Amino acid sequence: MTWLRRLAMFVGVTVLGTVSLAVVVLLVRWAWVYWFYEPTKPEHAAQKAAYLASLPRVDAATAPRFVVILFDDLGYGDLSVQGNRLIHTPQLDRMAAEGLRMTQFYSASPVCTPSRAALLSGRYPVRSRTHQHVFFAEELFAATVRKMLGAANELPRDEILLPEALAAAGYATGMVGKWHLGGIPGHQPNDFGFQEYFGVLWSNDMQPLHLYRNRTIETRDETEFSRFGFFDEDGPRTPRGVDQRLLTRRYTEEAIAFIERHRDQPFLLYLAHTAPHVPHFPDPEHAGSSAGGPYGDVVEDLDRSTGAVLAALERLGLATQTLVVVTSDNGADYEGSPGGLRGRKQETYEGGMRVPLLVRWPGRVSSGVVSEAMAMNIDLFPTLLGLAGLPLPPDRVIDGVDLTAVWRSGAASPHDLLFYFPTIGASPAAVRDARFKYLRETGQQWRSKPHLSDLLLDQEAHNLVKRHPEEASRLRAVLDTMTRAVQQNPRGWR
């Protein structure tokens, strides 16, 4: 029996040693994250507070109103004004005819979380530490474990978001829809400047999908999920509690109610739809009506929603005072249309990051304008603050630029370059200028190699590295310079 005792002792010591080593590794990792990679430090929080306190109050009689409508996974080619022949979007088509449409507009990431952080902060995703992954639905314990592993699951509190700056200047700020920038206390919409919130904290394929009003669960999701989540052999299930078939309708009602409550003061409304992200739940009132199938039904529901918001602004006499912006958080998923572009969601090809952008502001933005100026959702932060007469934060890099001249006078793009950040990773994967795009790697297993495209003549089908070696070399050097910059100062502090 001696050998059995020795074996048992060996196994016990091995297991105990392994567990102890794992605990030590986690503690060291946690300490490293806390002391060296912790996103919020006292000096940055103080600088943020000082900036917000310094902002002047806007003139309530003349300050513009803002409505930003964000669709989830809407592809570049999903609207009829963008060429779709199965899905009909007359309200969005009318909005384009009455305003401006940009054909070279991008999300800052090919997935949800980092793109939304970029839109609201004016900064590339690496600045806000949202580049590691798409945030998951989880409670405080799971969020803490992820943080110990170096994968934070919430937006750092020292980031300055658009609603915080506008609220400090006297705006009423409201959000309706999908947040996806953190679900634990201290990192929800009301914690980042939204005075009113109604919606869900993450994507509609994550569990549980509770419906919040401010910080309180108004409708609890009680869906019984199969091991495949929302999906079974018959397709997506209809949840109990939160009926996703009616979410677009409810969001629209809440958005209009916010406008009505604040009609006499400047406001920011951020309407971040859950759709057309999978799973698809068409409104039963219109289900089966689109030639584009269930996906088309959902997109046409979004079109009706946008029309209702525009009609409310007109009914309340606010149309000429209100800038309305419509875009998407990234390119098309499997069922969406990239509109002839190469790639889809999760890819840094054009189809994964180029998205529709419609702007309407009667009397301020000319009707029927199509702009080919390149721009990105990071530009909304400086543009809206500029229109409100507010300065940018001085303590951090703001990667976006003001698009006012592009929208109002047809000016050329203020960008010389735009960088494409991948789904996971702190380094940019590609860069483009007014004509060429350089992709560091195509990501096609053993065939992966640098790729140069002429975006004026081709949609990334042909590799022109050998045809234009000087352009490839120039853009590779630019990409390397940006990579070193974000490695040395990822958060972009000044």
Tell me which residues are annotated as active site.
112, 180
Q: How far apart are CA 182 and CA 184, in angstroms?
A: 6
Cβ distance 48 to 306 under 8 Å?
no
Contact 341, 331 (CB under 8 A): yes
| Cα separation, 4 vs 490, whole angstroms | 55
* C-alpha torsion angle, residues 209, 121, 189, 211 (rounded to 10): -20
Q: Which residues contact 35 (CB under 8 A, 6 or more apart)?
A: none
Segment holding 45, helix H or strand E? helix 42-54
DSSP 8-state class, residue 239: P
Q: State whether residue 104 is helix, strand or coil.
A: coil
Give the end-to-end CA distance of the chain in Å, rounded to a whole number: 68
> CA 49 to CA 66: how far, in whole Å?
24
Token reading at 332: 């098309």
Give the neighbor-by-neighbor strand order of the sheet with 430-432: 418-420, 430-432, 436-439, 451-454
Residue 179 Cα to chain centre, angstroms: 9
Burial 182-221 (b: 16+ CB within 10 A, else e): bbbeebbbbbbbbbbbbbbbbbbebebbbbbeeeeeebeb
Q: Which amino acid is at 259?
A: I
Would you put residue 73 in left (φ > 0), alpha (ψ -120 to 50) or beta? Answer: left
> By the 8 A CB rule, do 343 and 350 touch?
yes
Which amino acid, one-letter code, is at 38? E
Residues pairing with 100 in the sheet: 359, 369
Containing 432, the helix (H) or strand (E) segment is: strand 430-432
Residues 6+ apart with CB under 8 A from 375: 102, 104, 105, 106, 357, 403, 406, 413, 415, 418
**C-beta of residue 179 within 8 angstroms of C-beta of residue 200:** yes
Q: Radius of gyration of the chain from Cα atoms?
A: 24
